[in-house]
Amino acid sequence: MGEGPAADTRIAKPGAVLFMCGMNAIRSPMAEVIAKRLLPPDIYVQSAGVKAGEPDPFVDVVLQEVGLAPRKKHQPRRLEELEDDFFDVIVTLSPEAHHRALELTRSNAIEVIYWPTFDPTVETGTRDQVLDAYRGVRDELWRRIEERFGRAGAQAPQTV
């Protein structure tokens, strides 16, 4: 990648990355869309949850604000619904997902990374206050993905 201290924090280029959270409705699908923007197209990126939740329209709103199109008709899915299980790296975004990933990878050479990520659904207040919580999650995921895996020439999120 580059030289200097920032390059030292990146892992070798993975072939496949999975983002996991509790219900694959907010954090992990958001991370999937961001990673698909930042990572080279030859890296396979997916997301899943411990359970399947319901699609969250605020995810689409905050992704569109930074020029990212959400997955078409994203339907939250459980880990067991994935046909592929050849991930080099699993990034977990909630305690429940982290424990599940550790159970599943106990005897495999898969790196499990835990990024505790705020659940924006607990935010109360006006629509703008709730959206700010989702924006915070989006921006934090963007920063972490960029720091850990590097960038593929993408611009940092710019809100309108």
Query: What would the pLDDT profile of 73-111 be if each residue is shown by its tens digit?
Result: 778 999 888 876 689 999 999 999 999 999 988 888 899
Q: Within a domain: residue 46?
A: yes
Q: Within a domain: residue 118?
A: yes
pTM of structure:
0.86
Give 132: exposed, middle or buried? Use CB within 10 Å, 0-12, 13-18, 19+. middle
For the chain, the average pLDDT equals 87
Q: Within a domain: residue 122?
A: yes
Q: Within a domain: residue 155?
A: no
Q: Within a domain: residue 156?
A: no
Q: Once rounded to an integer, what is the mean pLDDT over residues 33-58?
A: 94
**What total number of domains does the chain contain?**
1
CATH number at residue 111: 3.40.50.2300
Question: What is the structure's pLDDT at 92?
Answer: 98
Q: Once rounded to an integer, what is the mean pLDDT over residues 126-146?
A: 97
Question: What is the structure's pLDDT at 154?
Answer: 46
Q: Within a domain: residue 43?
A: yes
Give 97: exposed, middle or buried? Use CB within 10 Å, 0-12, 13-18, 19+. buried
